[in-house]
Structure 1
Amino acid sequence: MLSLSYWEIKNWFSNVDYTVVGSGIVGLHTALRLRERFPKSKILVLEKGPLPQGASTKNAGFACFGSLSEIIDDLKNHTEDEVVQLIEKRWHGLQLLRKRLGDQTIDFRPYGGYELFLKDDESAYAECLQKMPFVNEVLKPLFKADVFSKEVDRFDFKGIQDYLIFNPFEGQIDTGNMMQALLKEAVANDIQILNYQTVTGYLDKGNSVEVHTNDFVVTTGKLFFATNGFAGTITNGAVRPARAQVLITEPIPNLDIRGTFHIDSGYYYFRNIGDRILFGGGRNLDFEGETTTTFGLTEQIQNRLEELLKNVILPNQEFQVAHRWSGIMGMGTHKKPIVEQRSQNVFCGVRLGGMGVAIGSLIGQELADLLE
């Protein structure tokens, strides 16, 4: 246990009103919302990594709310009202993020989103074309227009069905810019962020919470968990980690691909970043192996990403992989995020279902607003 000085105890660890665990999208929005509601409070954020761990600095930067095939799948497992409410939350969350940070700051680009279907995915393709009018009708009250339409492939992809499904409401952002801006805003609002602090336990004492980390014990008025993929223990298994593996190419001369793209019900996804292609996914090749909180890459998934890149996405172009990484998302049997009070002074906002960019800002606000 770290031996703290008088100054450290006085300035960092005394009279803490609110402690947030996790400095990702949800955690920082929680802290910023608490600052709006309680201007004179002392707010502490604990982060176990050097940067926000999980997926907040590792995601693909999709400003999306679900591809057509994902929405159709969700309608099989959730009620129509539940699916519409979820999409509405994602859509409003994106607007909240854009309003807070500004489109220029996060490099928001409304290129639209596309879904493509591989040649051997005939059944999913046919189902999407058949159900597209119904889904558009369901979403019309929210978007005041048709969300999905058929479009001819102008990108010269290979080995896919004749038409792409286009969504004009989808865009892309710069994930690094977004998180850097959120961190700067937190600091500007006198929110203390301590890195390399893993919360090892806590005790709700009724009038306060004792929080144990790897280095010290801090007493706080209220404790908020915003740890998403790492929230299995505090939610009794309602959140399962889901690792996402990603690669990015070196710049490709004259790259003519602009937008965000989904394949195989969203299990694969790619986009341009300038003249590079970022490509991720493939956890459906090994659900068991990818249900982990350990960062890492596997040959099976990386090989499949490269194979699709070579044969489907960039069939007529040479490319080199520049970098590879992974992130940890939070999934569950239900897509609805968990925003709830766990005990008298402990709260959590988790299970973002791979939609952290879209829904994270709103979940952070809802988490802070659980306080009466």
Structure 2
Amino acid sequence: MQLSYWEIKNWFSNVDFTIVGSGIVGLHTALALRERFPSSKILILEKGILPQGASTKNAGFACFGSISEIIDDLKTHTEEEVIQLIQKRYAGLQLLRKNLGDSVIDLKPYGGFELFLKEDESFYNECIQKISFINDIIKPLFKTDVFSKEVDRFNFGGIFENLIFNPFEAQIDTGNMMQALLKKAHQNDILILNSQTVTSFQEVNDFVEVETNGITFKTSKLLFTTNGFASQLTNNQVKPARAQVLITKPIPNLDIKGTFHLDKGYFYFRNINDRILFGGGRNLDFVGETTTSHDTTELIQNRLEELLKTVILPHQTFEIEHRWSGTMGVGTHKNPIVEQLSNHVYCGVRMGGMGVAIGSLVGQELADLI
């Protein structure tokens, strides 16, 4: 691409910070850098027309982990690590609310519910029995009990009659959130270029030379916030994880409100006004879903529809209006990776499916490394 003098002068000269990825983490990083360095030139590169990970494709859950997820995490993490994870997720949600405002992100504090299929009796019993234990270990964070047992009032099918309720969960409008962040970035003189894929970068003395599919330029600092696309940066500590989703057409008299978890959080659903958004199922094919492809598969979409018919909406007719998928970043450990990779290159990645909860905090922590 042959750039004009004006393009070189205004966009690609004297760049202080270049951020790769315009999702939740990337935009929060840029805004935090602007606060710390008011006169700096900040450039964000995004390979898609919209963020290509999960920022505009997630389900809009303002959550920090269902009880089954927490119990499952305790099998691979220490108790202290799990508490720190929950604390970080909850603090991140508060930061997101503070930065944008509840009305802007359309936060609805309906609470969260976990339901258990009849075939999961042993795990259901384990979760019920451990409610008081989990409440005890996280009470210092919330100053009260978080989880409680409630009788199913939604007329779900094929589940145990008791749900586990969490009053601290809420739902947000993901589209509103990202539009507000993009607007705030523009208002703070942060430059955003779309359809720019970083193909290579090289540190040279006190700067980094960055090459994309269309341009080559120099930047003082290079920060990657590419989450599920970051495996090469982190020596495969991050793996992509596709999350498939569908949404129904409007359903008259829908009486389901809240965020809902099923099967250790591998399935999740919520209402959006009078529709049901339902996603998950990568545990049906972990190998196949370790991909950055945004296709959907019959295996998972059929299972989502089956659970809609038999569990979520067993007494109602519905039609599917739309299907999509997004790319999360996961690993053997759920703590995000926020680190300096070399003299002038940094990364904030591996949200572990909790980007809404911790994205704002990771962006702040990444900016604080500079």
TM interval, shorter chain, is over 0.9
Measure, in 1, the Cα distance between the counterparts of 2:125 and 2:216: 57
Partner of 1:11: 10
Q: Could you list the runs of 4 or more consecutive aligned residues of structure 1 that deviate by over 3 angstroms after TM superposition?
A: none
Partner of 1:273: 272
Partner of 1:39: 38
Measure, in 1, the Cα distance between the counterparts of 2:86 and 2:4: 49
Partner of 1:90: 89
Measure, in 2, the Cα distance between the counterparts of 1:145 and 1:218: 53
What amino acid sits opposite 1:157 in the alignment?
F
Q: Deviations over 1:286-329 (max 9, x none)?
A: 00000001111000100000000000000000000010000000
Please say if residues 293 and 328 of structure 1, whose CA atoms lie closer than 8 Å, have aligned partners that are also in contact: yes
Structure 2 unmatched ranges of 5 or more: none
Partner of 2:174: 175
Please list, as runs of the form range in 1=range in 2, the aligned pairs for 1:323-334 lying within 5 A after superposition. 323-334=322-333
What amino acid sits opposite 1:302 in the alignment?
Q
What amino acid sits opposite 2:198 in the alignment?
V
Partner of 1:336: 335
Partner of 2:252: 253
Q: Deviations over 1:109-135 (max 9, x none)?
A: 000000000000011101101111111
Please list, as runs of the form range in 1=range in 2, the aligned pairs for 1:91-240 lying within 5 A after superposition. 91-240=90-239
What amino acid sits opposite 2:300 in the alignment?
I
TM-score (ref. length: structure 2): 1.00
What amino acid sits opposite 1:183 in the alignment?
L
Please say if residues 206 and 345 of structure 1, whose CA atoms lie closer than 8 Å, have aligned partners that are also in contact: no
Q: CA deviation at 1:206?
A: 3.1
Partner of 2:292: 293
Q: Deviations over 1:197-256 (max 9, x none)?
A: 000111112301111101011100001000000001111100000000000000000000
Please say if residues 229 and 242 of structure 1, whose CA atoms lie closer than 8 Å, have aligned partners that are also in contact: yes
The secondary structure found in structure 2 opposite 1:7 is: helix
The secondary structure found in structure 2 opposite 1:200 is: strand
Measure, in 1, the Cα distance between the counterparts of 2:165 and 2:86: 17
Measure, in 2, the Cα distance between the counterparts of 1:331 and 1:132: 27
- Identity across aligned pairs (percent)? 75
Q: CA deviation at 1:59?
A: 0.1
Measure, in 1, the Cα distance between the counterparts of 2:236 and 2:211: 21
What amino acid sits opposite 1:154 in the alignment?
R
Partner of 1:314: 313
Matched, 1:61 2:60: yes
The secondary structure found in structure 2 opposite 1:57 is: coil
TM-score (ref. length: structure 1): 0.99
Measure, in 1, the Cα distance between the counterparts of 2:310 and 2:79: 37
